[in-house]
Every structure is written in C-alpha cells, then in structure tokens.
DNA sequence: CTGAAAGCGCTAACAG
DNA sequence: CTGTTAGCGCTTTCAG
C-alpha cells in the first residue's frame, strides 16, 4: 500500500524532485521534453498526487463542508445533490456532516470542519439559534447559510422568500373559495418558519380571514411529526376547510393521519404544502405545494461561497429566491355561501 | 483569518512547540501543571488543531470516502445517513461523491478520493462493471462495496440476499393466488439485479409458473424509468395479475403510470416492490415490498471497512443480510379457478 | 531551464 | 519532564 511520491519519480527520472513538481503542476519553467518524460514515468509508476500535502502548503484544501440536519430528508438530499454537482464543477469536493437537527452536534460538526481546513462551509442550519451559536467561529471560515432565512443577520445566506411563499399560497386557497385555513405545524424556533407563518398571517389579514395556527414544538419537520400533530387535530372538532402545511413532509404526515381518520383529501379538506420535494409529485400523493427552487439555491450557494472565499473584502450578501405555486390535486374549490 | 498554530501557543506559554503538541495530544510525558496551563492558553487563543498537518504525519486522515451514484435517491440517502452516523461514532468523517450512475465519473471520483488520502472507501457502485473498472486502484485503499452484490468477487462487500428477496416475494404472491407474475425492469447490467431476476426465475420454476420479464436498459432504477416502462406495458395487452418491481422507485413509477392508464392497484393488479424506501410506507403509497436492512448494512459496511483498514492481513469478506417481506396494501389475494 | 533549501503545521524519536 | 531535530509530501523562492 506504499504510495508513489514525487521523490520516487525523481529518482527514476534522474532529476530533482523540484523538477517533478514543476512537470506535474504545469509550470512553464521546464522543457517540454523533460515534462513529457516525467509525466510518462509518473503514469507508469501509478502516481497520484497527495492532496493532503498539497493542501498543507497551498493553505487551501479545495474542500467545501456541507452541514445539514439530516441527509436522510428529501429536501436536504436534493440540496446536497446539487451542491455536490456545482462544487465538483468548480473543482471542489464535499465533506458531509449531519447535525441531526441538534444544535450541539451542529456546533461540533462546524468546529470539526474548521479543523479539517475546509475552504468554506455551506450550512442548512437546524434553527434560528444556529447563527448565534456559531457566531464565534464564523470569521474563521467563509460560510453560507441555506434555506434558513436569518433576515437581517450579517452573514451570507440564500433562501426562498418564505413570507411570499405562504402569502401566495393563502391567496390561492382563497381563490378556491376557502375562508377558513389552518396553518399547520408552525415552528417558532426557526426563522424560516416564523416567516412562513407571518406570510400566512399577513395574507389572512389582507383577505379578512381569521388566522388559525397549530404549533409544533418539534425541532424539525418530518412526516412523523406531521402525523402526530394531525392525529390530534383530526380527533378534535374544528371549523376549517383547508390546511396549509409548513412543509411537504408535514403534509405527508397529515395525509397519513387523514387516511386513518377517514378524512378525505381534497374532498373533505384541501391541503397545501411547502417545499415541493420530489415525492409530492407522485400521483398518489399529488400534493399542491409551494416550490423552493432547490437546484438554483444550491448552485447559488456554491457560487456565493466561492466568491466569498476569493474576495475577502466581501462581507456578506443575501439572496432571496422566488417561491412558486405548484398546483396539483390536493386542493379543491369550495362553493361560496 | 490567520489561524493560531502550535507555535503561537508555544511562544506565549514560553515552552517549545513539542511541549504544546504533547499537552494537546494527551501524552503522559508532561507535567500536569504545564499541560493545564498550555491547554488554557490554547483555549484563550482560540486554537484548533490543523487536521491536514496531522494527517500528513500520521499518514491517516480519519476520513472515509462515500461514493454513491446519487445522493438524491432515497435508498442512497438512507444509506448515507447511517454511514455518516456510524462513521462519526468511530471518529471518522465523510467525503461525499456522486457518480451520477456514470462509470467514468465513478472512476474519476474514486481516484480523487485516493488522492485525498481517505483511509477507506464505501462504494455503492453504479453497476456490475464497476468492479473491473476500479480493480486497478482497489489495493490502493481499503474498499467496501455496498448493495451491489458482486458474488464471488475478491473484494469486501455487504449486500442483501437479493436472490432470496425475490424468491420469497414470488412465494408471497403465489400464496395470494397469483399465477402470472411479471418481473418488471430487470436490469442486466447490475449483478444485484441479475440476482433478483434469478431469484424470481427460480421461484417461478419451483412453483411451475412461467416467468415473464420486462427489461430495462436504463443505468439506474428511478421513478421516471419505472414510469416510462410501465406506460408502454400498460398500453399493450398482457396476461398477468401481479407485477414484481425490481425496486421501489420502479414501483412508484408503475403506480404513476397505472393511475394514468386507469389500472387500479391492487384491485386490478397487485404490485410488489424491493428495497423498502421510506416513502413506500406512506399510506397513499402503501407499497408491499422486500426490505433491505439499510441501517444494518450501513453500519456493517463501516465496521467491515474499519476492520479492513486496521488489519492489513485481512483480504476481504462478504456479508449477506436477510431480506424481509413487508406486507402493506399493494397486493391482493385473487381467487383460484 | 534545473537544483538546493526552506517551510506549511504537526508528531515522534532521541537526548538531556 | 522538556527541548532539539528530523521529516510527512509537496510548493516555492532563490541561485545557478
């Protein structure tokens, strides 16, 4: 398992190892003849450059840390896929960490990535407190926050206009005739989710609807959490004709609970999600939802990060993407009285 | 952004930097007093050990490369999640690469990981040819193949007993009265899928059923591919009462096509999947399937890899996990004539 | 155009 | 217990 080094090549080629280094790095200060000869020997010996050694002297690793709450979550894995692709195209590789939606673990992972000398970090934070928590390390390494809208925070982020997302969602439901819409699984610990709830609230106000919230105290939005919350909700008696779920995963959980409780969607109640994860498009699910442009957000995040890495003068920038209404089959028009 | 090094600490503490190194590494050859003093100074100065430098001398990076065809695929992302967790618990971090189901890109990524000096690689290969293709590099770094069953190949892998999986699946459908079962989206380029098809074929033979295959020439199993194939199938006229899909994603695609073609599942035709990805459990999907113990496979893969890394004497080992039938609602009993 | 030497941040003998 | 020295594999001055 002994690896071939630059010195081994030098010995065979009968040159100094500096020359080998130059041949490999495509330096101009070398004769084309020697270069070709050395390159050939390198190939023959099965040489692979040691990126660790290179990083040590170059003081850059060409590594981007990707820190997500859980890669096993359709939203994050879509983001991860596109981040990987964009990064690779720009010559960067990914170091992947899960925070499991846990702020301590998130901090641990962040520090670890710093120690690993990643050139930058893309972070899908687990909540609104991530920023304060990570603040001490934030000028150690360029960081871009994704998805979690941290509003006026002085750090780069890319997110969707969450407020607008729920706003247009409510307008859509309103246009279908719904006058009593519940906002489901509001998570106050996340700024993103605060904004979504607020967009919902503001739209309700503008349309003279009475807002109604079902709060979630869970740290994340999962099918399981949506299910649990919905089960309780369906057991009670409420006056509403539509549910606006804070996330598609929540909506999927609601779908599950509805099925079990004999609530038909969209016949009995309309359901609108947020995120547009790939599974929402399945015809059996067929969930109308608000799309977050994940591909775009991922590549923008990578670009922002690289820009920040290369331009130390740049402090931070915020990019807010446009959400889009995706109409499928989970919302039904209701007759007006 | 200048990082604090061991030398900076040494200067402040007024000791040699070796002493600092010793304090940090928990060596016993140092007075408890000095250690505490140095540790404190390190903390005050905001020191974080440079893992790159450490790796260079230690000749190990504590990094595991995870190479999957696409992280944006429920099966892979579940595997990835559990691999990350197991690895972290053992002090390893993950470097993530996608091959996009493309063998050239897979080779690229593999070489890249080698250059990055990862201590080991966990690979969910994109097909049966991955082994031959990667063979030249395989003794450069300990590697464990996951999911793709490479049979008698002389390299470590962990997989599910694919043959048995489809075998028990057919038995189950048979027990429900099905006598005409189509195997859907057989992929001949993948050994795993060959074995699945074979298990199906052998079960058919044992039960005196006539096997019927729908072949897929796609390089991967996705919803889209299942959908395309199924659309064509449903357009034709065939004699069958059940479909055994080569993968859950294929089954989801079939579900979609069925919906559009007015084929009711399970009323008109029963559908059985393979993998048990999380979305199959959604009540709206409610897919009966063959479970691959993904969590287990992931942690076993990590353990095998670490064992292989630590025990150079070990050549390779194969672990075959047990598949399990998960009965949900997509298969219906049919009356016997 | 090529080589010698220094050094990236850290660990590990080897002395004292 | 502590310091000196060498070296991990590579790039980069600085001479020639």
Q: What is the pLDDT of residues B262-275, one digit of tens each?
A: 999 999 999 999 99
Between CA B275 and CA B259 the distance in angstroms is: 22
A7 strand D contact, CB < 7 Å = yes
Mean pLDDT of A2-20: 89
Question: How many CB atoms sit inside 10 A of residue B97's CB?
Answer: 26
The residue that leads in pLDDT, A218 or A185, is A185
Widest CA span of chain A, in angstroms? 92
Between CA B140 and CA B230 the distance in angstroms is: 43
pLDDT at B28: 66
What is the pLDDT confidence band of residue B337, given thresholds at 50, 70 and 90? Answer: low
What lies within 8 Å, CB to CB, of B291 at 6+ separation is B275, B276, B323, B324, B325, B326
Query: How, if at all, do strands A288-291 and A324-326 pair?
Result: antiparallel
Mean pLDDT of A115-133: 92
Q: Which two tokens stand for residue B41?
A: 């100074």
Q: Cis omega (within 30 of 0) on the bond before B266?
A: yes
Nearest CB to B51; choose among A117, A256, A285: A117
Residue given tokens 């044992």 in the structure block: B206
Chain B positions in Cβ-Cβ contact with residue A51 (cut-off 8 Å): 115-117
A51 strand D contact, CB < 7 Å = no
* CA neighbours closer than 13 Å in the CB half-sphere of residue A185: 31
Give kind and range of the element (H or E) at residue B321.
Answer: strand B318-321
Chain A positions in Cβ-Cβ contact with residue B61 (cut-off 8 Å): 52
pLDDT at B59 over 80: yes
- Looking at CA atoms only, how far is residue B117 from chain A in angstroms? 7
- Looking at CA atoms only, how far is residue A13 from chain B in angstroms? 22
Which residues are paired to A65 by β-bridges? A95, A121
Distances (CA, A) of B291 to B166, B190, B227, B272, B321: 11, 19, 22, 11, 10
Question: How many CB atoms sit inside 10 A of residue B28's CB?
Answer: 6
- Looking at CA atoms only, how far is residue B201 from chain A in angstroms? 30
Question: What is the model's pTM?
Answer: 0.92
What lies within 8 Å, CB to CB, of B25 at 6+ separation is none
The residue that leads in pLDDT, A272 or B150, is A272
Widest CA span of chain B, in angstroms? 92
Rg (CA), chain A: 25
DSSP 8-state code for residue B278? G
What is the pLDDT confidence band of residue A283, given thresholds at 50, 70 and 90? Answer: confident
Mean pLDDT of A138-151: 86
Mean pLDDT of B103-112: 96
Q: Which two tokens stand for residue B234?
A: 């449903």
CA distance between the termini of chain A: 78
Q: Do A256 and B282 touch (CB under 8 A)?
A: yes
pLDDT at B305 over 90: yes
Nearest CB to B77; choose among A66, A72, A116: A72
CA at A31, C1' at C1: how many angstroms apart?
6
Between CA B143 and CA B135 the distance in angstroms is: 11
Distances (CA, A) of B246 to A185, A282, B79, B197: 36, 18, 18, 8
* CA neighbours closer than 13 Å in the CB half-sphere of residue A35: 11
Q: Which two tokens stand for residue B79?
A: 């595997």
Mean pLDDT of B61-68: 97
Q: Using CA atoms in the order B219, B224, B226, B231, what is the torsion angle rounded to 10 degrees?
A: -130
Q: Cis omega (within 30 of 0) on the bond before A140?
A: no
Number of helices (H) and strands (E), helices first, in chain A? 12, 12
What lies within 8 Å, CB to CB, of B313 at 6+ separation is none
pLDDT at B313 over 90: no
Nearest CB to A53; choose among B56, B71, B72: B56
pLDDT tens, B154-195? 899 999 999 999 999 999 999 999 999 999 999 988 888 999
CA at B163, C1' at D7: how many angstroms apart?
53
DSSP 8-state code for residue A210? -
CA at B18, C1' at C16: how many angstroms apart?
15
Q: Which two tokens stand for residue B190?
A: 């993948």
Between CA A205 and CA A220 the distance in angstroms is: 27
CA at A35, C1' at C7: how many angstroms apart?
25
Q: Do A282 and B72 touch (CB under 8 A)?
A: no
pLDDT at A214: 95
**Nearest by Cα to B288 from B265, B263, B317:** B265
User: Within B181-247, where are the H helices?
Assistant: 191-206, 223-235
Q: Which of A24, A51, A124 has the highest number of chain B CBs within 10 A, making it the mutation to test binding with B? A: A51
Nucleotide nearest the Cα atom of A48 (by C1') = D9
What lies within 8 Å, CB to CB, of A245 at 6+ separation is A184, A185, A226, A251, A254, A271, A272, A273, A274
Q: Do A116 and B85 touch (CB under 8 A)?
A: no
The residue that leads in pLDDT, B1 or B72, is B72
pLDDT at B202 over 80: yes
Which residues are paired to B65 by β-bridges? B95, B121
| Vertex A100 angle, CA A309 and A212, to 5° | 100
What lies within 8 Å, CB to CB, of B155 at 6+ separation is B131, B138, B143, B145, B316
Could you identify the residue whose CA is nearest to the C1' atom of nucleotide C9?
B53
Rg (CA), chain B: 25
Residue given tokens 């500096």 in the structure block: A18
Chain B positions in Cβ-Cβ contact with residue A61 (cut-off 8 Å): 52
- Looking at CA atoms only, how far is residue B243 from chain A in angstroms? 18
A15 strand C contact, CB < 7 Å = yes
Q: Do B223 and A48 touch (CB under 8 A)?
A: no
B77 strand C contact, CB < 7 Å = no
CA at B19, C1' at D1: how many angstroms apart?
10
Query: How, if at all, do strands B324-326 and B288-291 pair?
Result: antiparallel
Q: Do B223 and A282 touch (CB under 8 A)?
A: yes
- Looking at CA atoms only, how far is residue A281 from chain B in angstroms? 10
Question: How many CB atoms sit inside 10 A of residue B70's CB?
Answer: 20
pLDDT at A207 over 90: yes
Residue given tokens 């106050």 in the structure block: A188
Q: What are phi and psi of A293, to 5 degrees?
A: -75, 85
Question: CB–CB of B145/B126 below 8 Å?
Answer: no
Q: Cis omega (within 30 of 0) on the bond before B196?
A: no
The nucleotides of chain D lying under 7 Å from a protein CB are 1-5, 7-13
pLDDT at A164: 97
pLDDT tens, A18-62? 999 998 887 666 777 788 889 999 999 999 999 999 999 999 999
Helix (H, G, I), strand (E, B) or coil at B277: coil
């Amino acid at each position: 398992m002994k690896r071939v080094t630059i010195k081994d090549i030098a010995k065979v080629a009968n040159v100094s190892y500096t020359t080998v280094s130059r041949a490999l790095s495509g330096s101009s200060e070398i004769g084309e003849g020697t270069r070709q000869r050395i390159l050939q020997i390198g190939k023959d010996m099965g040489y692979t450059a040691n990126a660790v050694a290179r990083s040590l002297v170059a003081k850059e690793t060409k590594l981007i840390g990707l820190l997500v709450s859980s890669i096993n979550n359709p939203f994050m894995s879509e983001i991860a896929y596109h981040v990987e692709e964009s990064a690779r195209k720009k010559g960067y590789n990914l170091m992947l960490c899960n925070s499991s939606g846990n702020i301590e673990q998130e901090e641990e992972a962040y520090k670890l990535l710093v120690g690993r000398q990643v050139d930058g970090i893309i972070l899908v934070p687990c909540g609104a407190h991530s920023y304060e928590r990570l603040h001490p390390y934030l000028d150690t390494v360029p960081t871009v926050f994704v998805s979690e809208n941290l509003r006026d925070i002085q750090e780069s982020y890319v997110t969707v206009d969450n407020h607008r997302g729920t706003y247009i969602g409510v307008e859509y439901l309103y246009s279908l005739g719904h006058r009593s819409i519940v906002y489901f699984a509001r998570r106050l610990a996340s700024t993103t989710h605060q904004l979504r709830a607020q967009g919902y609230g503001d739209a309700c106000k503008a349309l003279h609807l009475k807002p109604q919230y079902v709060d979630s105290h869970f740290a994340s939005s999962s099918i399981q959490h949506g299910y649990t919350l919905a089960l309780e909700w369906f057991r009670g008696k409420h006056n509403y004709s539509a549910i606006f779920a804070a996330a598609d995963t929540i909506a999927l959980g609601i779908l599950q609970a509805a099925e079990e409780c004999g609530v038909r969607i969209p016949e009995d109640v309309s359901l609108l999600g947020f995120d547009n994860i790939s599974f929402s498009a399945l015809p059996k699910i067929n969930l109308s939802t608000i799309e977050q442009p994940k591909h775009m957000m991922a590549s923008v995040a990578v670009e922002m990060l690289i820009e920040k890495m290369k331009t130390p003068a740049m402090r931070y920038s915020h990019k807010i993407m446009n959400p889009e209404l995706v109409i499928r089959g989970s919302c039904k028009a209701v007759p007006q009285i």
